[in-house]
Structure 1
Amino acid sequence: MLIIQDKCKMKLNCLNGGYEDPRNCAICKCPTGSAGIRCESIPRSTKVLDATYVCDSSCADNYLEIKHGAILEQTGFRQCCNAVPGDIISVTNQIYIISVALKAPANFTLRYIQDTTSNPLPKAPPAQWKGYGGITGLIGAENGIDNTWERVILKELPRTLQTFGRPTSNLFSDISRILQIFLIQDE
């Protein structure tokens, strides 16, 4: 970020990580997710209640960004294709939710709890499976709703193949042995 020092005679107290606009000293340049003369408010938007994104694993054209840290001008947690399971707890009492969709369709569903106590959060209901079936559905879903694909390929498969040993001449027997090892490891 390039900030031109001392161009503006009157200093604005920009909020939420904003800074004085060097082209117009009467307003602040606000980070994505904040608005107003001093970045004191959030931009007007419509209420989105459901979610589907065209997959963009680069997180450049289609994503849901959740800014939940103390420094709101920093890029937040981005989800690009599928919802990542787990709770996201804000550091402060502010959270920005930004949906960027250059490719349609793009929607999202959000469940949030405002908790003024320090009690544990209630458990979220399990996510509904929206897979398309078959290996194409599994690969196309990238990590799946619970990171299954990543867990299998990056963690379990190498360990299973190491445990498996040498393959035999019977492919079905080998596949059966690999599946049995997976099932034993999951218990």
Structure 2
Amino acid sequence: MTDQQTLTIRPGGSDDAATVLRLLDVATAWLAARGRTGQWGTEPASSDPRRIAQADAWATGGGLYLAMLGDAVVGALVVGDATDYVPPAVEPELYVNLLVTDRAYGGHGIGARLLAYAEELARDRGLGLLRVDCYGGDDRALVGFYEGCGFTATEPFTVERPGRQPWPGQVLERRLS
């Protein structure tokens, strides 16, 4: 079992886009193997031009942080501005744009530690609100994960996708004291 104290977090950079894609590919395959294809589908992110461009933007945008165990990247966090498809916040916030962990380390608290780091970043910036959105379909297990990390579900939303099923999402927030 991974000891959270051995986990370090470092800023990401332009050389880390492929690492983010690898983490997304592993997570997508893990979800698909469990019949949970509603979140990210079945195709690897590394073969999707839109996801490749998104990973490049995250890696060069200044908001990427990587969880490390020794030299191994075991998770990624991207923070910044809220995405266009969610209701806007009514106060300044930090928004979690991506949270993904290496499924080989599932259950070891890496995602929770990355969210705690996002909270630290928000506090350091003098912000009192941290928000995230996630897949809100199926059994809402991902919503439950975020609730277990101290977030409260707020607005549900739907992303319409031409030629595909609509994507049910959920915004969650965490107030910082």
Q: TM-score of the superposition, structure 2-length normalised?
A: 0.22
The higher relative CO (CA closer than 8 Å, separation ≥ 6) is in 2
Give the number of the structure whose residues are more often strand, by fraction.
Answer: 2
The TM-score normalised by the length of structure 1 is: 0.21
* Larger helix percent: 2
